[in-house]
Structure formats: C-alpha cells, structure tokens
C-alpha cells in the first residue's frame, strides 16, 4: 500500500531520514545538491527548478510550513560559517 505523503507528516519525515530513499530520489530525478559542512544541501533555486515553480512559491511554502520544514533540517545558511566553509 502506497503512502500519501500529502497528508502524513510522519511518512514525509521517514522518507527524509532514509538515506537510501534520498539517494534513490537523486538517482531517479537527476537532481544534484551541494555538499556543505558535510551534509547534502539544496538552494531554494534548485528546489524551485526541480518543481518547475518560482522561488517565491518555495519561500511561501517554507513560510506556511516552517515548523515542519525546520524540524526536517531546513536552515538558512549565512554569515561566517557560510563564507568560510568549502563548498564541494
């Protein structure tokens, strides 16, 4: 039975915490991220391009769902940490 990710926060969280699932999504979609501070990251622009929407749509979604998205690891990278880190 397939999961309905639009209604289940737990199922969405389980996908995001599953490295194999994330790797398979990357392989199937071709979406590439940036390794930053040892973790795979995506810019708002990358996400908007993937979903074929304007960056403002991503910003609105983040604003409307900030608690869940922050709990799932969403961060705004800026300042010295961003400036001084290597991006591979």
Contact 19, 8 (CB under 8 A): no
Asked whether 5 and 12 are in contact (CB, 8 A), the reply is yes
pLDDT given for residue 88 in this prediction: 45
Q: What residue spans define the domains of the chain?
A: 9-84
Query: What CA–CA distances, in Å, run from 2 to 6, 17, 41, 61, 63?
Result: 12, 18, 27, 24, 28
Confidence at residue 1, expressed as pLDDT on a 0 to 100 scale: 54
Per-residue pLDDT in tens (0 to 9) along the chain, 88 residues? 566 666 677 776 766 666 777 777 778 888 888 888 788 888 899 889 888 999 999 999 999 999 988 888 888 887 777 776 654 4
Q: Supply the pLDDT for residue 86.
A: 52
- Residue 34: both structure tokens together: 């940036």
Rounded Cα gap, residues 50 and 43, in angstroms: 11
Read off the pTM: 0.67
């Amino acid at each position: 039975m397939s999961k309905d990710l639009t209604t289940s926060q737990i199922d969405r969280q389980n996908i995001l915490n599953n490295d194999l699932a994330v790797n398979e999504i990357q392989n199937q979609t071709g979406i590439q991220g940036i390794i930053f501070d040892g973790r795979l990251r995506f810019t708002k622009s990358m996400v908007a391009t993937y979903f074929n929407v304007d960056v403002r749509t991503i910003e609105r979604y983040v604003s409307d769902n900030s608690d869940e998205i922050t709990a799932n690891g969403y961060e705004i990278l800026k300042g010295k940490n961003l400036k001084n880190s290597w991006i591979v």
